[in-house]
Amino acid sequence: MDNPMPILLVPGLGGSPRIYAPVVPQLWRHGPVTVANHLRDDSIGAIARRILAEAPPRFALAGHSMGGYIALEIMRQAPERVAKLALLNTQARPDSDEAKERRRRQIEGINAGRYSEAVGALFPGFVHPSRHDDAELLAEVEAMAADVGPEAFARQLTAIMGRADSRATLAKIGCPTLVLTGDQDNTIPNALSVEMAEGISGAKLVTIANCGHLPQLERPQETAAALLDWLRI
């Protein structure tokens, strides 16, 4: 490839580079791949600024779940640096009051030493209903949570609670954009992906069948195919 495009991947809440591992080998053919570190700050704005400080001058950007909130913040802070944007199983809306209260309870539980319990409680919403008993997938989610650790997980919850409403940002996005979702995402319903795709001019919406909130792990071939189509634009 004559001019490979750096590819920057941002994981979600409790996610580590493992979340993208099934798709990186295929993406790598299109340019150098970096998984951003989103563990060190407790606001989306600060996380985005630090990622930008460490990122290449211009790059293709993909964000999953919380990583999508960060990607939309990067689009606010430095849109000229993003050549292409992929928003995976995420949304543009801020937290509701109910969601904020739920996250506060999660933080209290983590601070009380119940980190594993908090992660386990999230798993049924993370995966397609047919995979609730998938021990291998649960082990992967638990391994990512161990990579992140309780302190960083709590910082991420705080950052998510304070995120901005990005709906007004959508119309300003001018780069080629992929919006990807699972057909049964019970953490961020795919209607919110439809809303984003309709708000971004020219965005392509891909809905993966028999998939929940973790398409890279649940349906890696389909997810890689969608990302490769995006990179070829």
Per-residue pLDDT tens over the stretch 101-117 = 999 999 999 999 999 99
User: What pLDDT is stored for residue 150 in this prediction?
Assistant: 98
User: What pLDDT is stored for residue 233 in this prediction?
Assistant: 86
User: What pLDDT is stored for residue 52 in this prediction?
Assistant: 98
Quick: pLDDT tens for 126-137: 999 999 999 999
Sheet holding 82-88, edge to edge: 33-35, 7-10, 59-64, 82-88, 177-182, 204-208
Percentage of the chain with pLDDT > 70?
99
User: What pLDDT is stored for residue 206 in this prediction?
Assistant: 98
User: What pLDDT is stored for residue 87 in this prediction?
Assistant: 98
User: What pLDDT is stored for residue 2 in this prediction?
Assistant: 58
Confidence class for position 123, pLDDT limits 50, 70, 90: very high
Mean pLDDT within 191-204: 98
Amino acid (one-letter) located at 136: E
Confidence class for position 3, pLDDT limits 50, 70, 90: confident
User: What pLDDT is stored for residue 71 in this prediction?
Assistant: 98
Mean pLDDT, the chain, whole residue set: 97
The beta-carbon contacts of 141-147 under 8 Å, at least 24 apart in sequence, are 141/14, 141/214, 142/116, 143/16, 143/18, 144/11, 144/14, 144/15, 144/16, 144/18, 144/19, 145/14, 145/115, 145/116, 145/119, 147/16, 147/17, 147/18
- Using the predicted structure, report yes or no on whether residue 151 has a pLDDT greater than 90: yes
Quick: pLDDT tens for 32-87: 999 999 999 999 999 999 999 999 999 999 999 999 999 999 999 999 999 999 99
Q: Give the burial class of 226: count Cβ atoms within 10 A of its Cβ; 0-12 exposed, 13-18 middle, 19 or more buried.
A: buried
State if pTM tops 0.75: yes
* E strands in the chain: 7-10, 33-35, 59-64, 82-88, 177-182, 204-208
- Using the predicted structure, report yes or no on whether residue 1 has a pLDDT greater than 80: no
Mean pLDDT within 94-106: 97
